Amino acid sequence: MNDSIPLGTRRTIDGADRVYYYGYWIKAYSPPANTLEAKKRLIEGLTRRLFNHVEHGLNIPGRRLGEARASYEDATEPQLKRVKGAMLAGALFNRATDIFTKLVELQAMGIEIQTDNELMRECGQCLQEALTLGKLVRHRSGDEGIDELWGEPFKAFTMPIDAFYESRYVKIAMTMRDIDRLTAAMIGVFSRLEMFGGEIESILHDYAEAAKVKCETLRTDPAIFDVWSRFAVAAEKVKEYLPKLQPDAADVELLEASEGKALLEKGIDLISYVTRARVPMPKSTREFIERCAGFRQGADSRQATCDPL
Q: pLDDT truncated to tens, each residue of the chain (309 aa)?
A: 566 899 999 999 999 999 999 999 999 999 988 888 888 888 888 888 888 888 889 999 999 999 999 999 999 999 999 999 999 999 998 998 898 888 888 877 888 877 778 888 898 899 889 888 888 888 877 676 676 677 788 888 888 999 999 999 999 999 999 999 999 999 998 888 888 877 889 999 999 999 999 999 998 999 999 999 999 999 999 999 888 888 887 888 888 888 999 999 999 999 999 999 898 888 889 999 999 999 888 776 666 555 555
Q: Can you tell me whether residue 138 is helix, strand or coil?
A: strand
- Do residue 139 and residue 224 come from a single domain? no
What residues make up the domain containing 78? 36-158
pTM for the structure as a whole: 0.84
Coil, strand or helix: which one is 286? helix
Measure the CA–CA gap between 144 and 290, rounded to whole angstroms.
16
Same domain, 286 and 180: yes
Judgement on whether residues 214 and 243 belong to the same structural domain of the protein = yes
Say if residue 76 is in the same domain as residue 107.
yes
d(CA 295, CA 293): 6
Q: Are residues 54 and 180 in the same domain?
A: no
How far apart are alpha carbons 200 and 270 in whole angstroms?
18
If one counts the domains in the chain, the total is 2
194 shares a domain with 83: no
Q: Are residues 147 and 181 in the same domain?
A: no
